[in-house]
A and B are shown apart, each in its own frame.
Chain A
Amino acid sequence: DSGVTQTPKHLITATGQRVTLRCSPRSGDLSVYWYQQSLDQGLQFLIQYYNGEERAKGNILERFSAQQFPDLHSELNLSSLELGDSALYFCASSVGPEPNTEAFFGQGTRLTVV
């Protein structure tokens, strides 16, 4: 158990819909990272937050947005869903953004868009 909790574990929804994925980081971790993993793309970095503020952006679509709340949990919002958005979405957390710290990953949310 990494200490990072993601909910829900599975999500099935229709095209055009909007969903929210939730991540609770390990206790004491201030940095949260979101990743998307699809079969043909591997693990893609989406976005990072540190202590409530956006720190880095990766290949995140405009239809996707995220935020980190004062209690440090984070949510990833996916809207106008397309079939190609079907993937595993992972959240990770670390104490901070320093490169000598380790990141801990949750078990992921499997999103299926039908």
Chain B
Amino acid sequence: DAKTTQPNSMESNEEEPVHLPCNHSTISGTDYIHWYRQLPSQGPEYVIHGLTSNVNNRMASLAIAEDRKSSTLILHRATLRDAAVYYCILRDVLAGSSNTGKLIFGQGTTLQVKP
């Protein structure tokens, strides 16, 4: 499974943008980049995913480097409810066998949002 590297923790002020980085230098051409977050005492929650192009949805934006070896999750205006652990995950396509689509979670980035 391809690995990702994220900072252990980050801090942000409320109502300011947050850029959460992720390095995935061993990404393969068919790996999708997924972001999930886990709020305290809850199950993980899907945030966004992409392959090559930048993506936007109601929750966040995903900026993918041209060489795909890194990506950045952007929360445009952090709120206190955004305090969570954010996971950057590569979801693989297995050549020559059935897809599993399993998500392998690393340690993630713990985001603290200060009022």
Q: Which residues of A contact B (CB under 8 A)?
A: 2, 4, 31, 33, 35, 42-45, 48, 50, 55-56, 58, 90, 92, 94, 96-108
Contact B46 A104 (CB under 8 A): yes
Contact B104 A45 (CB under 8 A): yes
Q: What would 12 A/B residue contacts be, using CB atoms closer than 8 Å? A: A4-B43, A45-B103, A48-B100, A48-B101, A98-B93, A98-B101, A99-B31, A99-B32, A99-B99, A101-B101, A102-B34, A103-B103
Contacts A42-B105, A43-B105, A102-B49 known; A97 to B100 CB distance under 8 Å?
yes
Contact B49 A2 (CB under 8 A): no
Nearest B residue to A106 via CB reads: B43
Min Cβ gap B91→A in Å is 4
Contacts of B99 in A (CB 8 A): 96-99
Give chain B's interface residue range (CB within 8 Å of chain A): 20 to 34
Nearest B residue to A58 via CB reads: B102
Tell me the dominant secondary structure on chain B's binding face.
Answer: loop
Contacts of B87 in A (CB 8 A): 43
Contacts of A96 in B (CB 8 A): 99, 101
In the complex, what distance in Å separates the CA atom of A45 from the CA atom of B46?
16
Contact B44 A43 (CB under 8 A): yes
Contacts of A56 in B (CB 8 A): 100, 102
6 new A-B pairs (CB below 8 Å) besides A90-B44, A102-B34? A31-B101, A45-B102, A48-B101, A92-B44, A99-B99, A101-B101
Contacts of A55 in B (CB 8 A): 98, 100
Nearest B residue to A105 via CB reads: B43
Contacts of A43 in B (CB 8 A): 38, 44, 87, 105
In the complex, what distance in Å separates the CA atom of A31 from the CA atom of B102?
10
Contacts of B106 in A (CB 8 A): 42
Contacts A42-B105, A45-B103, A103-B103 known; A97 to B46 CB distance under 8 Å?
no
